[in-house]
Amino acid sequence: MSPKVSAIAKSYLRGVLTAITPLLAIRSTDGWAYLAAVVAGVIAPALRAVDKNDPAFGVVADLAVAETESLDKAAIAKKAAATK
C-alpha cells in the first residue's frame, strides 16, 4: 500500500472511530446509531478528498511531494559535490 493510500485510510479510520467512541462509551446497542456514526465519521475525510486544494490529499499535496523530491535530489547532488 502506498504511503498516500495509507494516510487516506488512516484519516477515514480516525473519523469513524471518533464518531463511534461515544456510542461505545454508553454501550449503545442501536444499530442505526452506529450506522449514522459511521456516515458522520466518513463525511469529513470525504470532504477533504474532493477538495483539490487540500494540502494533505489534494492537488497541492502532489505538488508538495514533487517539490520535496526535487529538493532532496538537489541536496544529495550538492553533498556529493562537496565531498569530492
Q: How confident is the model over 50-62, as a mean pLDDT? A: 70
For 26-47, write each residue's pLDDT tens digit: 999 999 999 999 999 999 888 8
The number of distinct structural domains making up the chain is 2
Q: Are 63 and 84 contained in the same domain? A: yes
59 and 45, same structural domain?
no
Task: Judge if 5 and 41 occupy the same domain.
Answer: yes
pTM of this prediction? 0.63
Residue 30 and residue 71 in one domain: no
Task: In whole angstroms, give the CA distance from residue 40 to residue 16.
Answer: 7
Question: pLDDT tens digits, residue range 74-84?
Answer: 667 667 777 76
Task: Please list, in sequence order, all residues whose beta carbon lies within 8 angstroms of the beta carbon of residue 46, skipping any fewer than 6 positions away.
Answer: none
**Domain region containing 84:** 53-84
Q: What whole-number distance in Å separates Cα of residue 83 and Cα of residue 14?
A: 45
Instruction: Provide the pLDDT for residue 4.
Output: 77
Q: Is the pLDDT of residue 1 over 70?
A: yes
